[in-house]
């Protein structure tokens, strides 16, 4: 450290001391949440503007009456540039933004790397600007959470406060990019699954309102999508609203299942260039055939709720079908089927983006196709395509993200469609219940849930998730060898304060255990010391623990085995240590006190 660095550090330490003396923790957290709100909103505005400028530069002169072959090239260039940027400049995986936040909260003590404050902005603006079929929301949420995490770490905030600031960053990002403060608050509670006290909600509100206000200053106070309700919702249409909700739930299920399967295929490919070629081929072909897949798709949503349907098929090979009654619904149905492949090909090929925008996009199309199809099949039934497009947005988003409240308020704030509150709630609830019948976790959390690394609203499970094996494993158990005699074991017992002894071979592989209670009747008979060897009186442990097991599964194993101590072995069976119930209970209480004050 140079003298200049030391001087800066000393000055900052002086600032920290002054803050501790003059500003209480409660008010300082509010100050930090206000700063986070400003920073996240500016980041959101910067990202949206960068995407708009790149798209305008590349596609501003496109001919709407014929196929544009640059759609085959631009997305490929975008994911290539983004992939090279991540591979050679960032040097870290920045995909699955919201999943990374959930992992940081549950496994990294809410610590998010510094580069996440800017790397996702650069990569996602390139990816989406060049036509990547993903959304900018997950990258900006990761950016906002990284801002909150690193700002809190800079001011030496404790882990519980750091978790709150990460939530503030996420709330500010959603509020800033959508100009939707209520949705930002609900997103943090529903999607990030953080339990906050009443006092904790105030910083979240501060960040959300601040971020939305800053966005208003830079982008105006108009809703993101202009929507004028031309037809009042009628109660007798509720059955159709419910059916749309079920359809949205099934579409979300399709989107979730296909996403997980295609991601596995891309993960199996080790070569960066093979991933790029596969992703580029899928993405460019799909966008060439279905131009509305280009970019985030918000132009398509605007067309659907703004009654500008005639432009949706422009530039595609399906343009001649435009005059047929079923031409547009069939075209949009193909898009619903293909969107998931385009989105995963974008990320799998090297791009950076999220599923937030794709879920809104699919929902708008689903609602429009549903209402238009019902109207054509049953001419006596009239459903407003615009209203149902909005409802579909809420339905698919609710099901994909498992966030019905966020979906309702976000769509209402995005469009100003507060008069549709009742049908929005019905669709969101129906879609949510539908997908719960098949998938317990959202697309964001399913990857962590499978590994037992997901923090949830369930207090006991949340505490167990925050526990790590390193915090509870004990390595002071003295091992014995199968060929050792009873006399040798007695000498080991004399030096140990334990009543369980692992039996390991020359390769440190666990062969069994020796229980003090099992040899108590012979250990005080010297005449037997040379007659009995360990391999004769050792027993198998009732169960074994491996480092990959989640803590809630470990607790179930303890209950099933009715044991108090269990050995830990690696995948090759080599002995690592022991876990005891008492150690877990003590660690459980420490984590509970540290992260959930008032619950102990």
pLDDT-based confidence at residue 126 (cuts at 50, 70, 90) = very high
Query: Do both 512 and 365 map to the same domain?
Result: no
More confident residue, 21 or 492: 492
pLDDT-based confidence at residue 51 (cuts at 50, 70, 90) = very high
Q: What is the 3-state secondary structure (H, E, C) of 29-75?
A: HHHHHHHHHHHHHHHHHHHHHHHHHHHHHHHCCCCCCCCCHHHHCHH
Query: Do both 265 and 341 map to the same domain?
Result: yes
Report how far residue 416's alpha carbon sits from residue 414's, in angstroms, rounded to the nearest whole number: 6
Report how far residue 344's alpha carbon sits from residue 266's, in angstroms, rounded to the nearest whole number: 9
Query: Do both 281 and 214 map to the same domain?
Result: no
User: Which segment of 138-147, 318-327, 346-355, 361-370 scores lowest on mean pLDDT?
Assistant: 318-327
Residue 451 has pLDDT above 50, yes or no: yes
- Residue 227, in any domain of the structure: no
Query: Do both 253 and 373 map to the same domain?
Result: yes
More confident residue, 354 or 229: 354
Instruction: Specify the pLDDT at position 424.
Output: 92
- Residue 582, in any domain of the structure: yes
Percent share of the chain, pLDDT over 90: 37
Query: Do both 290 and 195 map to the same domain?
Result: no
- Residue 59, in any domain of the structure: yes
Report how far residue 521's alpha carbon sits from residue 536's, in angstroms, rounded to the nearest whole number: 15
Residue 66 has pLDDT above 60, yes or no: no
Residue 5 has pLDDT above 70, yes or no: no
Instruction: Specify the pLDDT at position 598.
Output: 45
Q: Which of 175, 233, 232 is nearest to 43 (CA)?
A: 175
Residue 505 has pLDDT above 50, yes or no: yes
Instruction: Specify the pLDDT at position 239.
Output: 92
Q: Which of 106, 108, 138 is nearest to 120 (CA)?
A: 138
Instruction: Specify the pLDDT at position 176.
Output: 93
Q: What is the 3-state secondary structure (H, E, C) of 484-550?
A: CEHHHHHHHHHHCCCCEEEEECCCCEEEEEEEHHHHCCCCCCHHHCCCCEHHHHCECCCCCECCCCC
Query: Do both 208 and 240 map to the same domain?
Result: no
pLDDT-based confidence at residue 9 (cuts at 50, 70, 90) = low
Other C-beta atoms within 10 Å of 269: how many? Answer: 15
CATH number for 535? 3.10.580.10
Look at residue 21 and give its three-state secondary structure.
helix
Q: Which of 508, 526, 524 is nearest to 516 (CA)?
A: 524
List, for residues 192-249, the tens digit of each pLDDT value.
766 666 777 899 999 999 999 999 999 888 777 776 666 677 788 889 999 999 999 9
Q: Which of 198, 201, 156, 200 is nearest to 181 (CA)?
A: 201
What is the rounded radius of gyration, in angstroms, for the C-alpha atoms of the chain?
Answer: 29
Query: Do both 495 and 383 map to the same domain?
Result: no
User: Which segment of 229-238, 329-338, 393-402, 436-445 scores lowest on mean pLDDT?
Assistant: 229-238
Q: Please name the residues in contact with 542: beta carbons below 8 A apart, sequence gap of 6 or more.
A: 561, 562, 563, 566
* Domain final position from 157, 186, 219: 219
- Residue 60, in any domain of the structure: yes
CATH number for 423? 1.10.3080.10
Query: Do both 191 and 297 map to the same domain?
Result: no
* Domain final position from 191, 219, 247: 219
pLDDT-based confidence at residue 399 (cuts at 50, 70, 90) = very high
- Residue 21, in any domain of the structure: yes
Instruction: Specify the pLDDT at position 600.
Output: 40
Query: Do both 542 and 428 map to the same domain?
Result: no
Domain residue limits at 510: 461-595
- Residue 408, in any domain of the structure: yes
Report how far residue 299's alpha carbon sits from residue 303's, in angstroms, rounded to the nearest whole number: 6
List, for residues 541-594, the tens digit of each pLDDT value.
989 988 878 777 777 888 888 888 889 999 888 999 888 877 777 665 665 555
Instruction: Specify the pLDDT at position 298.
Output: 86
pLDDT-based confidence at residue 318 (cuts at 50, 70, 90) = low
- Characterise 512 by phi-psi region: left (phi > 0), alpha (psi -120 to 50), beta (else): left
DSSP class of residue 152 equals: H
Residue 131 burial (10 A CB sphere; 0-12, 13-18, 19+): buried
User: Which segment of 154-168, 246-260, 306-320, 424-438 scores lowest on mean pLDDT?
Assistant: 306-320
Q: Which of 241, 183, 210, 583 is nearest to 410 (CA)?
A: 183
Query: Do both 163 and 288 map to the same domain?
Result: no
Query: Do both 242 and 128 map to the same domain?
Result: no
- Residue 341, in any domain of the structure: yes
Strand partners, 473: 579
The overall average pLDDT reported for the chain is 84
Residue 8 has pLDDT above 70, yes or no: no
Instruction: Specify the pLDDT at position 217.
Output: 93
More confident residue, 18 or 514: 514
- Residue 442, in any domain of the structure: yes
* Domain final position from 450, 471, 500: 450
Residue 105 has pLDDT above 60, yes or no: yes
**Domains in the chain: how many in total?**
3
**Contact present, 375 and 240 (Cβ < 8 Å):** no
Q: Average pLDDT, stretch 19-43?
A: 90
More confident residue, 220 or 399: 399
Helix then strand then coil, % of the chain, to nearest 5: 65, 5, 30
Query: Do both 207 and 268 map to the same domain?
Result: no
Report how far residue 46's alpha carbon sits from residue 144's, in angstroms, rounded to the nearest whole number: 13
More confident residue, 465 or 413: 413
Instruction: Specify the pLDDT at position 102.
Output: 78
Instruction: Specify the pLDDT at position 363.
Output: 94
Instruction: Specify the pLDDT at position 397.
Output: 94
Residue 93 has pLDDT above 70, yes or no: yes
Residue 77 has pLDDT above 80, yes or no: yes
Percent share of the chain, pLDDT over 70: 85
């Amino acid at each position: 450290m140079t003298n200049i660095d030391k001087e800066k550090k000393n000055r900052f330490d002086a600032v920290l001391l002054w803050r501790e003396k003059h500003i209480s923790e409660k008010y300082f957290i509010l100050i930090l949440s206000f700063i986070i709100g400003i920073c996240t909103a500016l980041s959101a505005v910067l990202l949206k503007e960068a995407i708009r400028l790149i798209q305008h530069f590349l596609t501003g002169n496109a001919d709407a009456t014929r196929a544009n072959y640059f759609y085959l090239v631009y997305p490929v260039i975008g994911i290539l540039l983004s992939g090279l940027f991540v591979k050679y400049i960032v040097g870290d995986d920045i995909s699955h933004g919201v999943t990374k936040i959930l992992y940081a909260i549950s496994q990294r003590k809410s610590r998010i790397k510094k580069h996440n404050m800017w790397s996702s902005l650069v990569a996602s603006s390139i990816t989406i600007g060049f036509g990547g079929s993903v959304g900018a929301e997950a990258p900006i949420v990761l950016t906002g959470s990284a801002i909150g995490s690193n700002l809190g770490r800079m001011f030496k905030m404790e882990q519980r406060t750091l978790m709150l600031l990460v939530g503030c960053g996420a709330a500010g990002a959603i509020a800033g990019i959508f100009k939707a403060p209520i949705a930002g608050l609900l997103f943090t509670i529903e999607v990030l699954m953080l339990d906050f006290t009443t006092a904790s909600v105030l910083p979240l509100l501060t960040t959300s309102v601040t971020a939305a206000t800053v966005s208003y200053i830079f982008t105006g106070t108009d809703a993101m999508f202009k929507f004028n309700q031309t037809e009042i919702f009628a109660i007798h249409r509720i059955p159709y609203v419910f059916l749309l909700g079920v359809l949205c739930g099934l579409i979300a299920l399709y989107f979730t299942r296909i996403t997980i399967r295609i991601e596995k295929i891309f993960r199996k490919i080790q070569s960066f260039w093979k991933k790029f070629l596969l992703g580029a081929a899928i993405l460019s072909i799909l966008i060439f055939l279905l131009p509305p897949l280009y970019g985030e798709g918000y132009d398509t949503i605007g067309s659907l709720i703004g009654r500008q349907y005639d432009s949706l098929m422009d530039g595609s090979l399906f343009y001649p079908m435009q005059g047929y009654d079923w031409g547009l619904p069939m075209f949009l149905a193909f898009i619903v089927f293909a969107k998931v492949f385009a989105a995963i090909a974008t990320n799998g090929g090297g791009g950076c983006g999220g599923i937030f925008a794709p879920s809104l996009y699919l929902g708008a199309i689903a609602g429009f196709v549903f209402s238009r199809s019902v109207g054509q099949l049953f001419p006596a039934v009239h459903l407003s395509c615009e209203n149902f497009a909005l409802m579909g947005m809420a339905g698919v988003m609710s099901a994909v993200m498992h966030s019905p409240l966020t979906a309702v308020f976000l769509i209402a704030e995005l469009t100003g469609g507060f008069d549709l509150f009742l049908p929005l709630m019905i669709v969101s609830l129906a879609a949510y219940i539908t997908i719960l019948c098949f998938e317990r976790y959202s697309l964001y959390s399913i990857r962590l849930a499978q590994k037992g690394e997901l923090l949830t609203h369930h207090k006991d499970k949340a505490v167990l998730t925050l526990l790590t094996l390193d915090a509870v494993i004990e390595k002071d158990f003295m091992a014995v060898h199968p060929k050792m005699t009873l006399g040798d074991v007695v000498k080991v017992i004399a030096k140990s304060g334990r009543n369980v002894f692992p039996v390991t071979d020359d390769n440190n592989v666990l062969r069994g255990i020796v229980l003090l209670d099992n040899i108590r009747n012979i250990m005080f008979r010297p005449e037997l010391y040379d007659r009995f060897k360990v391999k004769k009186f050792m027993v198998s442990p009732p169960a074994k623990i491996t480092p990959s097991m989640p803590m809630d599964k470990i607790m179930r194993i303890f209950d099933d085995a009715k044991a108090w101590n269990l050995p830990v072995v690696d995948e090759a069976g080599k002995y690592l240590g022991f876990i005891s119930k008492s150690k877990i209970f003590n660690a459980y209480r420490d984590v509970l006190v540290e992260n959930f004050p008032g619950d102990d």
